[in-house]
Structure 1
């Protein structure tokens, strides 16, 4: 009887989902599609770009991603600002700046897009409600400095006096409670595990972080100084003498005007001309769609963002924005581009701190296949292309990175936590059993590595490290000895990596497309099309990716209503990636100091 009522409840939930929720979603999508086909841009428009909610690197191909909170992406901002620059209806741009820091590489790319927009002769007004000392606030100021005018609210504080970041070290706490981390890392700069094993920065950790932070800070100050028409030394002196009130910042020539956002909007509308209106960036982007271009030759645009894992994302949450690179999916997208006769070159956008070496190698094999097919592959690096993110980039035909991209981290780590003693202090006994060889229980949390197990595991870490070095050496045409010197797990900024020969050019997606044209020998005066792989999913395809084959759809609909609302399921899905990657034994994952 209990099972009968549970089944009845499940059927009711499924019917509600099928007849209420799904139609609502599809009607919403249909209305959105219909409205986007109508002219939505007024004759005189001020485009408003709000950066306060943050940016992902890439736009999800999932039509329901917006329901999961996915907002604007860096790639979308670059694309839409290029369209707005060419659109005679768009007369001006208004930017709402975040109070805290921005991801430095994202700020680099947004600044470049703003400068290209200004080059069309259209004004840009940026408005800030303060610059707070949180994260890379100097990057937020750099974006504001790229505007024609930088405004700040009268009550706001200007506290962009430098750049800081923090690390949490659990070494002493683990010692206190008997939790034993056992890790191998190659080498001293591979700092991803230091938070578990140390109580402070090691000399190597401190050296590497100070170096890349200084590179980002110096670059942002230099860019802002260029846009503010002053010298880097003068701007640095003014910044570091803060913090300031809005009036003091104006007196120090760090901003141009003081006013409420409504006043900045009024000024932008005045600049745009009589009868002008403000249009949100999202609405304008929906109306315009992506730039597809025209012409016989095509350049494929393929993106991957997040940790690199084996498998496919076919069963992922249909309402999520996607936060991982599934090796089957990304490799398949590259092979699809190879088979497309119109595609002459591939631009691979990578924003990843790394992940599984096996997944990374699967993607790199597809990159090799593209090159063997005569289709050059240009990597455009986003916020991160480190460790496994650099592995998949290493043999590309050409690599473009932002000056503030965090890349390199050519190294490996792996290990386990021994928890038996810690659990024993709470009256919990952890015991293990195994059959087979001595290595069968090597990763058991019940016991430390034996000497033989540690030696075998160390050899596997060395093997993966040697493979990584070999790929970088072949791809970058550098002697292995030189790669070992500059590797050792160290994170570099794009600017540093270019000097070391790890990247070819500083810039973003715009520069990467230009490089792809050159390598494919497409004449400058010839139009090209952009083809995106994988192709964006339709609403039904997105739902089918969860529901499975059609014969299983009804059953999935019945179950989905209860499953999606289950807080335990939601919590488990958040832990799956981390747990799975720990089980890999050896991963090529960089620390993510900018979060």
Structure 2
């Protein structure tokens, strides 16, 4: 009897929890989809953007449709700026910045979009109370700010345009004092992924390579600021070497236009642009009122973001984890795009430092199969597409990178920590029972044996040979040219173009245009840019979590239920899913526009759908 009552209570907790989540999901659908469709865009408006928001790669995968909060997808931001550039209702752009979180490649795409907005005859304004040197973000903040026509700063602030600095730790001596050694093998000398663990100071090859990387980044940022502000490079360098600057010094140097407080800035902008509504980029995109032809051809947008790992979504819970490029998920997305007869080309957007070789090869194989079936694949690199990321990209028909992208790292490395001395210091003993000469080769308790080291080296040699052979064939490099770019070297996108590792410089917008050209689509043909796979709605994500047993807050209750009982809960969700779908439908056709984005031609914006940003400055 008590056992029955206990199970009944657990049932009630589980069902109540599910119902609560469903009610929340229904509320979200009503609030975030019904409301924007009933609120049309104003006849005249000023667009706003907060450049301190986290800029996210990939479509919206949050629990709340349309996202929200502190994240904004790069696709939404770029498409919003480009769409607004040709929208007669949008009269200007107002932004704020202080400590941006975006990487250099993303910042370059944003700057290009701001320049394009201004090129359509529309003014752009930016306000910052400070761009502090502390935290190292002042230079990036000003690099973004310099794309705007008019820059205001609070008189008491500072301009931290101090240049770039990268601190690299080397821990071998520290680990040795703790009784830990790190054993690694790399192909070749420039492959420095584990150098911080194996060396007590920076190796000459890594110092050379990283020094060039930082110099290239800095050269790009200096050139961008110099061109935008009309300050000669030599004068700009002298100013940077005196920074951080007082605001009055920044004004005198021609880097800031006005010193004033936020209320004064708002009054000045209002006087110029009029007292018209202000609309954040995310809200502008959510309320866009263009049509989307259902029968239009598609460019599939597939994102590969995070560390490259094996497996797919069913192997890993998707709640609260950092982004991972899960090989089977990305390969499945590519296959789904190829199987869709509406898809004319694929843009594979990569932002990954690399990872597992076999997983990277799984994705590369999917790209090759897409090409074999006649679907062109264009690789678009974000902040980073290195090592396994470049291994994937090199299979594509064309590779585009931003000037500041970190790419290449054509090499391989493997290693492990060894705690033998630490164990001795702790008087900790280990007993190993094994069969097979190399059965314990990855144990932390002993270094690699000679036989294990030979086996590891054979594996690394084979991987490196495969990697370099594919790069040489795909990029048309001679053995001598390949030797100069491989060995683990990393390059910025600008330098990678010079040595033949990428085809052209450009961001996501340019990659979509290249995909259109590769598919031989007429310039005036409407094209839909659609993320693959389509983002799951909250109910289906909830069902997936229930199936995996990883739903926070319900695990303890549902965990005591039997398999048939959990399946019964899933059936409840399955019954309610169409109900929520009907609620969704109340918002009107096209309300859930996250899975499909409009691209009206080569001069029109297109891009990913993601989180709406918080309102910008008004």
Give distance in 2, aligned partners of 1:525 and 1:383.
31
> Does residue 177 of the first structure (1) align with residue 178 of the second (2)?
yes
Correspondence for 1:501: 500
> Does residue 490 of the first structure (1) align with residue 489 of the second (2)?
yes
> Does residue 422 of the first structure (1) align with residue 422 of the second (2)?
yes
Give distance in 2, aligned partners of 1:428 and 1:13.
46
TM-fit CA distance, 1:237? 2.4
Correspondence for 1:381: 381
User: Mean Cα displacement is larger for which, 397-406 or 44-53?
Assistant: 44-53
How has the CA–CA distance of structure 1 residues 100 and 200 changed in structure 2, closer, same or farther, with 3 Å as cutoff? farther
Correspondence for 2:542: 543
> Does residue 242 of the first structure (1) align with residue 238 of the second (2)?
no
Correspondence for 1:559: 555
Give distance in 2, aligned partners of 1:335 and 1:245.
55
How has the CA–CA distance of structure 1 residues 402 and 503 changed in structure 2, closer, same or farther, with 3 Å as cutoff? same
Matches for 1:162-561 after TM superposition, within 5 Å: 162-273=163-274, 275-288=275-288, 296-314=296-314, 317=317, 319-320=319-320, 323-435=323-435, 437-548=436-547, 558-559=554-555
Secondary structure of 2:438 counterpart: helix
Give distance in 1, aligned partners of 2:340 and 2:166.
45
C-alpha RMSD of matched pairs (Å) = 2.7
How has the CA–CA distance of structure 1 residues 292 and 67 changed in structure 2, closer, same or farther, with 3 Å as cutoff? closer
How has the CA–CA distance of structure 1 residues 557 and 351 changed in structure 2, closer, same or farther, with 3 Å as cutoff? same
Correspondence for 1:34: 34
TM-fit CA distance, 1:203? 0.9
How has the CA–CA distance of structure 1 residues 559 and 386 changed in structure 2, closer, same or farther, with 3 Å as cutoff? same
How has the CA–CA distance of structure 1 residues 311 and 65 changed in structure 2, closer, same or farther, with 3 Å as cutoff? farther
Matches for 1:123-138 after TM superposition, within 5 Å: 123-133=123-133, 134-135=135-136, 137-138=138-139
How has the CA–CA distance of structure 1 residues 311 and 149 changed in structure 2, closer, same or farther, with 3 Å as cutoff? same
**What 5-or-longer segments of structure 1 have no aligned partner?**
564-595
Give distance in 1, aligned partners of 2:24 and 2:85.
36
**What CA deviation, in whole Å up to 9, does each residue of 1:23-69 have, x standing for no partner?**
12331233111112123533322222112133222333444488797
TM-fit CA distance, 1:100? 5.7
Correspondence for 1:79: 79
**Contact between 1:304 and 1:330, CA under 8 Å: does it hold in 2?**
yes
User: Mean Cα displacement is larger for which, 536-545 or 288-297?
Assistant: 288-297
TM-fit CA distance, 1:15? 3.2
How has the CA–CA distance of structure 1 residues 16 and 406 changed in structure 2, closer, same or farther, with 3 Å as cutoff? same
TM-fit CA distance, 1:419? 1.5
Give distance in 2, aligned partners of 1:289 and 1:424.
70
Correspondence for 2:589: none
Correspondence for 2:580: none
Give distance in 2, aligned partners of 1:293 and 1:265.
40
**Contact between 1:57 and 1:383, CA under 8 Å: does it hold in 2?**
no
Give distance in 1, aligned partners of 2:235 and 2:242.
11
Give distance in 2, aligned partners of 1:455 and 1:243.
53
**Contact between 1:137 and 1:163, CA under 8 Å: does it hold in 2?**
no
Give distance in 1, aligned partners of 2:293 and 2:265.
34
**Contact between 2:351 and 2:384, CA under 8 Å: does it hold in 1?**
yes
Secondary structure of 1:154 counterpart: coil
Give distance in 2, aligned partners of 1:329 and 1:310.
9
**What 5-or-longer segments of structure 2 have no aligned partner?**
560-618
User: Mean Cα displacement is larger for which, 258-267 or 463-472?
Assistant: 258-267
TM-fit CA distance, 1:9? 6.4
Q: Structure 2-normalised TM-score? A: 0.84
How has the CA–CA distance of structure 1 residues 58 and 267 changed in structure 2, closer, same or farther, with 3 Å as cutoff? farther
Secondary structure of 1:495 counterpart: helix
Give distance in 2, aligned partners of 1:446 and 1:458.
20
**What CA deviation, in whole Å up to 9, does each residue of 1:453-485 have, x standing for no partner?**
111111111111111111111221223442232
Query: Which structure has the higher relative contact order (CA within 8 Å, separation 6+)?
Result: 2
Give distance in 1, aligned partners of 2:362 and 2:426.
44
TM-fit CA distance, 1:169? 1.9
TM-fit CA distance, 1:499? 0.2
TM-fit CA distance, 1:92? 1.5
Give distance in 2, aligned partners of 1:423 and 1:59.
47
User: Mean Cα displacement is larger for which, 138-147 or 398-407?
Assistant: 138-147
Secondary structure of 1:378 counterpart: strand
**Contact between 2:92 and 2:122, CA under 8 Å: does it hold in 1?**
yes
TM-fit CA distance, 1:359? 0.8
Give distance in 2, aligned partners of 1:2 and 1:460.
59
Give distance in 2, aligned partners of 1:140 and 1:248.
17
Secondary structure of 1:162 counterpart: coil
The count of residues paired between Structure 1 and Structure 2 equals: 558
Give distance in 1, aligned partners of 2:302 and 2:88.
30
Give distance in 2, aligned partners of 1:173 and 1:68.
43
Give distance in 2, aligned partners of 1:504 and 1:40.
42
Give distance in 2, aligned partners of 1:241 and 1:6.
71
Correspondence for 1:587: none
